[in-house]
Structure 1
Amino acid sequence: MHRRTAATLAAVALTAALSGCGSDDSKTDAPEKAPATSATTAATTAKPKTDAETATGIPPKPDAATQAAYIRALTAIDPGIVDGDEDKAVSRGRDQCSTIHNFPKDAAKQADLANQRFTSPSHPEGFGQATATLIVKAVHANLCPTF
């Protein structure tokens, strides 16, 4: 039993040591990337894209100015869309960017999924197709304009 314990502890120590080395490599790779604009840098430092997010079209979390513009756009459509939870509105918007990315020529599908995605206590079934279309435009313009 003593040998098993020692072997297990050695394996755990080795794994921890190797894990530490892996994180240092990622830090040295960062400076080799192409320089970005200050707006891009602020957006990407807030939350870097993962490979999965890049593949599915989910943009990084927006910087403060972009988020404020996005929240103003949603509030102008209907204050109930944000309903006091800006983080949730941003999260739903980033997810909506994935829909825009994956169905770029299907406006009806984009609006339908926005209507399902953007709900509130006073609109548990969504805000309707007309409002959902406006939400898609606000998301597209503010969170993922390159799609």
Structure 2
Amino acid sequence: MRTRTATATAAAVLGVLAVTGCSSTDDKATAKPTPSTTQSGLTDEQRAQAREAAGLPPTPQAADWKAYIKALDALDPDIVHGKEDKAVSRGIDTCSAYKRYPGDSAQQVKVTRMRFTSPTHPEGRDATTAQKILDVAHKHICPTY
């Protein structure tokens, strides 16, 4: 048992030494700059272009984010239900309905109804609330749509 533990410890130490031994300050000084990439491997510019092509607006700035959440909470706190990131993501997706269904308010409301579920509204929202959510998203997340 001690032999296995010692072997595993030695292997871990050698692994750490191998990783740290591979980098040097000289390598960093001569490395070519690369575009900023996200976890998906796309550059920020490529990601923005893909979002635009899909009809998705950029993530709202802090002030717009806060105003959007505040407006949703004023409608019904259950819409956000403590999950701001999720509510903003759904708002961004909701904005894409303007691009996918231009001039078709009924379809825009329909997709918004289904998108904004919560524990107390697992089937989504009623049409009146969905229209208000759509208006809030339009105002704070995608005013140019």
TM-score (norm 1): 0.67
1:1-147 equivalent positions in 2, closer than 5 A: 24=34, 26=35, 49-147=47-145
SS of equivalent residue, structure 2 residue 89: helix
Q: CA deviation at 1:51?
A: 2.0
Over the aligned positions, Cα root-mean-square deviation in angstroms equals 1.8
Query: 1:146 is matched by which residue type in structure 2?
Result: T
CA distance, structure 2, for counterparts of residue 67 and residue 131 of structure 1: 19
Query: 1:82 is matched by which residue type in structure 2?
Result: V
Query: Which runs of no fewer than 5 residues in structure 2 stay unpaired?
Result: 1-30, 37-43
Deviations 1:17-68 (A, max 9, x none): xxx85x62x46xxxxxxxxxxxxxxxxxxx7653221112211111111100
Query: Which runs of no fewer than 5 residues in structure 1 stay unpaired?
Result: 1-19, 28-46
CA distance, structure 1, for counterparts of residue 110 and residue 48 of structure 2: 27
After superposing on structure 2, the runs of 4+ consecutive aligned residues of structure 1 that deviate more than 6 Å are none
CA distance, structure 2, for counterparts of residue 80 and residue 72 of structure 1: 12
Query: 1:135 is matched by which residue type in structure 2?
Result: I
CA distance, structure 1, for counterparts of residue 50 and residue 101 of structure 2: 17
Query: 1:126 is matched by which residue type in structure 2?
Result: G
Query: 1:94 is matched by which residue type in structure 2?
Result: I
SS of equivalent residue, structure 1 residue 62: coil
Percent of aligned positions that are identical: 47
Q: Which has the higher helix share?
A: 1
Deviations 1:3-25 (A, max 9, x none): xxxxxxxxxxxxxxxxx85x62x
Query: 2:50 is matched by which residue type in structure 1?
Result: A
Q: CA deviation at 1:101?
A: 1.8
Q: CA deviation at 1:126?
A: 1.0
SS of equivalent residue, structure 2 residue 57: coil
Residue 12 of structure 2: aligned partner: none
Higher-Rg member (1/2): 2
